[in-house]
């Protein structure tokens, strides 16, 4: 597929910062030309058809174009935490995760390395990798970047963080987030189509030993929305906008795992983010989703906002 995407001057994300990353300069995302992987392991905290009992083969890429102030993974947004990997090494990581019984290969905050990941997936498939590829994104994507991933990505796991421009600016310095994310999700749905599933049986040598078939999403778009403290009305607006635009063509995931991580000057600037979301607020949002007619969605039960949801980063 021909495209005009490039890393120098970089135009991969909606920031269009124009950094000359191949010359060693860092973009708004924090990344230069080299890929840094902060963690590659089986991850059990995604939505059920993405994690199953075997786990999702997650590869956390360092750097992030959006860099929200409340990010629970803020350690890696600098772009250089973890280990530098080549395209060839990333392809081998995919194969290693498949050998461990992963349901899929799940690239987390991948946008800044879209071109290298596309090459790595193509190489991994030539070497025998058969798993679906998940693109785990903040939703802040250029339509052109999504279109360039056709044939690479099978499942988009996309956030829709804000329908409110003021919140998008306050927490992510991205007034264009609502419009950009909706256009990106449009492109994802157009590319992928309706959700599809199969019954996945892990390999015999999987570390967890599980051999029972697991319902696995093989194609589709999952849209996540995280409830923020004091922002119930904004969350209701986000769900209403999403359902009005996409109806049942996407699977919804309404999340209550907001974890307060701010301290010092950041907490002083954003004191409202220093608390968890009350369970009653979350239940009210789920009731609102039911009223909208959203029938197919995931929700979180129990103490979701725990440190277990925040993985330890490799050094």
Question: Residue 167 falls within a domain, yes or no?
Answer: yes
Residue 1: partners with Cβ closer than 8 Å, 6 or more residues away: 148, 150, 151
Backbone region of residue 244 per phi and psi (left: phi > 0; alpha: psi in -120 to 50; beta: other values):
alpha
Question: Residue 146 falls within a domain, yes or no?
Answer: yes
Question: Residue 143 falls within a domain, yes or no?
Answer: yes
CATH of the domain at 121: 3.20.20.70
pLDDT of residue 34: 95
Cα–Cα distance, 188 to 147 (Å, whole number): 8
Indicate the angle between helix axes 165-172 and 177-192, nearest 10 degrees. 100
- Residue 61: both structure tokens together: 């890429």
Residue 179: partners with Cβ closer than 8 Å, 6 or more residues away: none
Q: Where are the beta strands (DSSP E) in the chain?
A: 35-43, 56-61, 83-85, 105-108, 133-137, 155-159, 196-200, 214-226, 251-255, 297-299
Question: Residue 249 falls within a domain, yes or no?
Answer: yes
Sign of CA dihedral 285, 286, 287, 291: positive
pLDDT of residue 210: 54
Question: Residue 24 falls within a domain, yes or no?
Answer: no
Give me the number of domains the chain comprises: 1
Sign of CA dihedral 266, 157, 35, 12: negative
pLDDT of residue 118: 98
> What does the pLDDT look like over 167-192, one tens digit per residue?
999 999 999 999 999 999 999 999 99
Question: Residue 122 falls within a domain, yes or no?
Answer: yes
pLDDT of residue 315: 29
Q: Which residues of the chain have pLDDT under 70?
A: 1-2, 204-211, 302-315
pLDDT of residue 314: 44
> What does the pLDDT look like over 26-43, one tens digit per residue?
999 999 999 999 999 999
Segments forming the whole domain that contains residue 147: 35-309
Question: Residue 256 falls within a domain, yes or no?
Answer: yes
Question: Residue 52 falls within a domain, yes or no?
Answer: yes
Contact 132, 104 (CB under 8 A): yes
């Amino acid at each position: 597929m021909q495209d005009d995407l490039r890393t120098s001057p970089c135009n991969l994300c909606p920031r269009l910062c124009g950094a000359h990353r191949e010359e060693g300069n860092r973009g708004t995302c924090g990344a230069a030309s080299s890929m840094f992987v902060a963690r590659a392991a089986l991850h059990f905290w995604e939505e059920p058809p993405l994690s199953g009992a075997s786990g999702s083969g997650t590869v956390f890429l360092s750097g992030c174009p959006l860099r929200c102030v409340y990010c629970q993974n803020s350690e890696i947004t600098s772009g250089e935490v973890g280990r530098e990997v080549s395209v060839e090494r990333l392809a081998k990581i995919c194969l290693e995760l498949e050998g461990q019984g992963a349901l899929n290969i799940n690239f987390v905050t991948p946008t800044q390395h879209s071109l290298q990941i596309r090459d790595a997936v193509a190489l991994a498939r030539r070497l025998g990798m058969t798993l679906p590829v998940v693109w785990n994104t903040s939703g802040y994507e250029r339509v052109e970047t999504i279109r360039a991933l056709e044939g690479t990505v099978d499942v988009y796991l996309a956030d829709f963080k804000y329908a409110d421009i003021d919140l998008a600016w306050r927490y992510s310095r991205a007034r264009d987030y609502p419009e950009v994310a909706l256009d990106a999700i449009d492109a994802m749905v157009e590319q992928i189509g309706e959700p599809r599933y199969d019954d996945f049986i892990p390999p015999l040598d999987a570390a967890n030993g599980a051999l029972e078939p697991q319902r696995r999403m093989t194609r589709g778009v999952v849209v996540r929305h995280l409830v923020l403290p004091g922002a119930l009305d904004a969350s209701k607006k986000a769900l209403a906008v999403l359902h009005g635009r996409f109806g049942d063509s996407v699977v919804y995931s309404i999340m209550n795992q907001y974890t307060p991580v701010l301290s010092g000057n950041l907490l002083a600037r954003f004191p409202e983010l220093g608390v968890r979301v009350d369970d009653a607020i979350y239940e009210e949002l789920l009731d609102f989703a039911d009223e909208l007619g959203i029938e197919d969605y995931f929700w979180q039960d129990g103490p979701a906002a725990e440190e277990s949801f925040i993985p330890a980063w490799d050094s």
